[in-house]
């Protein structure tokens, strides 16, 4: 059902953005490259600043930028006609008006719609009337916006088992949009997935790209993951200081300390807790809250 969530008003949220100073000097403290960080954890805006703008839209990227955050996370899937789009769920129902626009196309899966059809959907109204008109971006559109904002991207290949060969497609679009040049690869891009085979495939096809595995493999298995990934990115709900320390004792696929970026931490107490564990990054819908707590 196309429903609007209970949330603060868009006007109030825009007010938050307007009161923040923009520009590089106001950006979250922290390094540009995952391997360069010292001190407090990197703060990564999950699906953009998704507590305050509709997730995975260009508006959420822009808001994260206005709030001063360099790093954004997104989710990538593939349409029926092979276009890569930025969306979390494998169904379009929760975050678009697809049921109204295309009745009779249940279960409204991303992979059953063309890119042209998806481009007509409203991906903002569900979040609040002020966001009506936001679209599901293609990966190409998304990359161009992140670049324009001088931001950096933690790109998640979502449900790779649904999209055989999507790793090659992702790398092709990244290359076409200039994201596999030295500057992006060294400082601005991490590709992650819950699918170990997907992360392996990215590493095999482009060994220079920094990768992350989403999950918490047993400590005994971490060395085998470190062969193809640079980050182990677990849910904060199961994370412990000992687990972070075990990862940090290893070197990742590029010979640097294996990193830990945890998700999705949206409150100050939780942020302080995982920062105390020594995590390298915190992925959050509320980057302002986390920055205030750990920065
Ligand atoms: O980046 C980590 C996080 O996004 C993984 O969970 O379901 O929000 O994609 P999910
Ligand atoms: Ca994600």
pLDDT-derived band of residue 159, with 50, 70 and 90 as boundaries?
very high
Residue in 46, 203, 236, 261 annotated catalytic: 46
Distance between CA 202 and CA 205 in Å, rounded? 5
Name all contacts of 104-113 with Cβ < 8 Å and 24+ positions apart: 110/77, 110/78, 110/79, 110/85, 111/77, 111/78, 111/79, 111/80, 111/162, 111/163, 112/80, 113/79, 113/80
Mean pLDDT of the chain: 90
- CA-nearest residue, atom 4 of ligand 1: 46
Kindly state if the Cβ of 263 falls inside 6 Å of ligand 1.
yes
* Ligand (nearest to CA of 90): 1
* Ligand (nearest to CA of 154): 1
Distance 216 CA to ligand 1 centre (A): 13
Residue 192 Cα: closest atom of ligand 1:
1
Residue in 38, 88, 236, 254 annotated catalytic: 88
Kindly state if the Cβ of 55 falls inside 6 Å of ligand 1.
no
Does residue 35 register a pLDDT over 90?
no
> Closest Cα partner for 143 from 103, 95, 181?
181
- CA-nearest residue, atom 7 of ligand 1: 88
pLDDT-derived band of residue 39, with 50, 70 and 90 as boundaries?
confident
Residue 44 Cα: closest atom of ligand 1:
1
Residues 6+ apart with CB under 8 A from 211: 190, 191, 192, 199, 202, 203, 228, 229, 230, 231, 253
Q: Specify whether the CB–CB gap between 262 and 236 falls below 8 A.
A: yes
* Ligand 1 pocket, mutate which of 46, 279, 287 (most atoms under 8 A from CB): 46
Distance between CA 87 and CA 187 in Å, rounded? 24
Check residue 170 and give left, alpha or beta (phi > 0: left; psi -120 to 50: alpha): alpha
Residue 158 Cα: closest atom of ligand 1:
9
Does residue 15 register a pLDDT over 70?
no
Please indicate whether residue 88 is annotated as part of the active site.
yes
* Ligand (nearest to CA of 74): 2
pLDDT-derived band of residue 7, with 50, 70 and 90 as boundaries?
very low
- CA-nearest residue, atom 2 of ligand 1: 263
Residue 204's CB is within 10 A of a number of other CB atoms, namely 10
Does residue 100 register a pLDDT over 60?
yes
Residues 213-263: pLDDT tens digits? 999 999 999 999 999 999 999 999 999 999 999 999 999 999 999 999 999
Residues 182-194: pLDDT tens digits? 999 999 999 999 9
């Amino acid at each position: 059902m196309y429903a609007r969530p209970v949330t603060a008003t868009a006007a109030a949220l825009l007010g938050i953005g307007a009161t923040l100073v923009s520009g590089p000097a106001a950006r979250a403290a922290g390094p540009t490259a995952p391997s360069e960080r010292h001190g407090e954890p990197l703060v990564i805006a999950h699906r953009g600043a998704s507590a305050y703008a509709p997730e995975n839209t260009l508006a959420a990227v822009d808001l994260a930028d206005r709030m001063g955050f360099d790093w954004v996370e997104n989710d990538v899937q593939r349409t029926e006609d092979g276009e890569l789009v930025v969306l979390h769920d494998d169904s379009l129902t929760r975050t678009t008006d697809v049921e109204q626009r295309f009745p009779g196309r249940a279960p409204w899966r991303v992979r059953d719609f063309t890119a042209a059809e998806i481009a007509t959907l409203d991906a903002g109204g569900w979040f609040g009337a002020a966001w009506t008109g936001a679209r599901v971006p293609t990966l190409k559109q998304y990359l161009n916006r992140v670049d324009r904002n001088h931001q950096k991207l933690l790109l998640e290949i979502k449900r790779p088992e649904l999209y055989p060969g999507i790793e090659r497609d992702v790398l092709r679009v990244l290359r076409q949009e200039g994201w596999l040049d030295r500057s992006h690869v060294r400082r601005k891009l991490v590709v992650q997935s819950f699918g170990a085979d997907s992360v392996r495939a990215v590493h095999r096809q482009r060994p220079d790209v920094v990768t992350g595995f989403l999950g918490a493999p047993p400590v005994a298995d971490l060395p085998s993951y470190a062969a193809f990934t640079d980050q182990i990115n677990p849910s904060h709900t199961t994370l412990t200081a000992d687990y972070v320390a075990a990862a940090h004792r290893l070197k990742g696929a590029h010979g640097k300390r294996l990193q830990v970026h945890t998700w999705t931490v949206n409150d100050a107490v939780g942020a302080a807790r995982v920062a105390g564990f020594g995590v390298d990054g915190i992925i959050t819908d509320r980057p302002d809250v986390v920055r205030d707590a750990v920065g």
